[in-house]
Structure 1
Amino acid sequence: MFKKILFALAILITGFVVLVSRQPSTFRIERSLTMATPADLPFGLVNDFHRWHFWSPWDAMDPQMKKTFDGPYAGPGATYAWSGNDKVGQGKMTILDAKPYERINIQLEFQKPWEAVNATTFTFQPAAEGSVTVSWIMEGHNTFVGKAFSLFMDMDGMIGKDFEKGLASIKTLTEQEAKNRLEREAKAKAEAEAAAQAPAPTDAPQATTTTP
């Protein structure tokens, strides 16, 4: 009986290993959102790690999360390391390349609760007039553990949900700033036009004196 149980377990384990090994060796998670804003506004929020706390879905998961910034203030070479609770773990991001208002490439390194290195890309594609479609993409290789997790958890759904939250926050922030920018420009234009139409000041009459 004991041998039969061991044999059955061996079959189950072998079957599980075969099933896991047949899972995709790579993954790609992508979400996009169109925003009524010029591309420079969302680009600026992503290109500067110091501004991620305004929109990142993970900052809210651990307000006490420790952050370290290094390298240039923004753009290629800038790094952002974090260490927090079980929900956010520990890791590091590095901006590898940034083409203004078009694309930002980031290397994403997870250190805890597991180790992994993934490629993250943000793209900014012109949409309707005055709008831009922002895409958030993460790609990487699945280890055996990652393949096993994919059998029980919908990684695309879990991470994709966070991407959707982050993009929605970027949309809210940038659309408001775009509106404020238009209002400032309209006010400045009105003030300039009013100044141009104002009558030119006349010279004050000079005092005259008479000789007695």
Structure 2
Amino acid sequence: MKILKKIIIAILLLLVLVLVIALFMPKEYTMERDITINRPQAQVYDYARMIKNQDYYNVWVMMDPGMKKTYTGTDGTVGFLYAWDSEKKAGKGEQQITKLEQNNLVAYELRFIKPFEGKAECNVRLQQTDTSTTNVNWSFHSSMAYPMNIMLPFVKGMMGKNMEETLSNMKREIEKK
């Protein structure tokens, strides 16, 4: 009985420690990744603003080929809405274009519905480095409520890898054209 009591106390102390650590961890976070694509800025922009193109490069979209997708509006324009529903890892959510700056910016909001609710502001910024090369900067800004924010280091690690793979896939697809 003493051993069981010690185990329960140890588990409770560990839980309290985790909750205290979460109090001091950030709740908001921003992630950025960059890649250089060997194509002119206008060509990269024309590809990046079309949300349906993500079927060919976005690792989250590619996780579940059977994912249910719906589209509202005209792809590549402000207000275009892409919704997904996946029984697998991608969950359920929406992506909506919120701002476009010709050849420079594609901004959108991600709204996660399942398995966890959340929102994120994302920007794809383009900068021409020379006549045939474009730097792509993809940023993701969101928040995690306490005590879930204790998971931020793990989420950022996993997301960072997925963002890099997505950008690499985007580069491959654009440079094929």
Decide: shared fold, TM above 0.5: yes
Instruction: Name which one, 1 or 2, has greater alpha-carbon Rg.
Output: 1
Task: Quote how far apart the aligned CAs of 1:30 are.
Answer: 1.1
Give the alignment partner of residue 39 of structure 1, picking from 38, 41, 57: 41
Cα 1:89/1:145, change in 2 over 3 Å: farther
Q: Residue type matched to 2:18 in 1?
A: F
Q: Once the two structures are aligned, what percentage of the paired residues are identical?
A: 25
Q: Residue type matched to 2:135 in 1?
A: T
Question: What residue in structure 2 maps to residue 147 of structure 1?
Answer: 149
Task: Quote how far apart the aligned CAs of 1:50 are.
Answer: 2.0
Structure 1 window deviating more from structure 2 (89-98 vs 13-22): it is: 13-22
Larger strand share, 1 or 2: 2
CA deviations 1:82-141 (Å, max 9, x no partner) are 011331111000100010110111000011110001111100011133210001110111
Q: Residue type matched to 2:166 in 1?
A: G
Question: What residue in structure 2 maps to residue 83 of structure 1?
Answer: 85
Q: List gaps (5 residues or longer) in structure 1.
A: 178-212
CA deviations 1:134-163 (Å, max 9, x no partner) are 011101112124312236x2x222111111
Q: List gaps (5 residues or longer) in structure 2.
A: none
Structure 1 window deviating more from structure 2 (112-121 vs 41-50): it is: 41-50
Residue 16 (structure 1) aligned with residue 18 (structure 2):
yes
**Partners of 1:59 and 1:93 in 2: CA distance:** 12
Point out which structure has higher relative CO (alpha carbons under 8 A, 6+ apart).
2
| Count of aligned pairs between the two proteins | 175
TM alignment of 1:149-168, pairs within 5 A:
149-150=151-152, 153=154, 155-168=155-168
Residue 126 (structure 1) aligned with residue 128 (structure 2):
yes
Question: What residue in structure 1 maps to residue 105 of structure 2?
Answer: 103
Q: Secondary structure at the match of 2:59?
A: coil
**Partners of 1:16 and 1:78 in 2: CA distance:** 41
CA RMSD after TM alignment: 2.0
User: Contact conserved, 2:95 with 2:108, CA < 8 A, in 1?
Assistant: yes
Q: Secondary structure at the match of 1:127?
A: strand
User: Contact conserved, 1:66 with 1:83, CA < 8 A, in 2?
Assistant: yes
**Partners of 1:158 and 1:80 in 2: CA distance:** 23
Q: Secondary structure at the match of 1:159?
A: helix
**Partners of 1:9 and 1:129 in 2: CA distance:** 60
**Partners of 1:169 and 1:5 in 2: CA distance:** 48
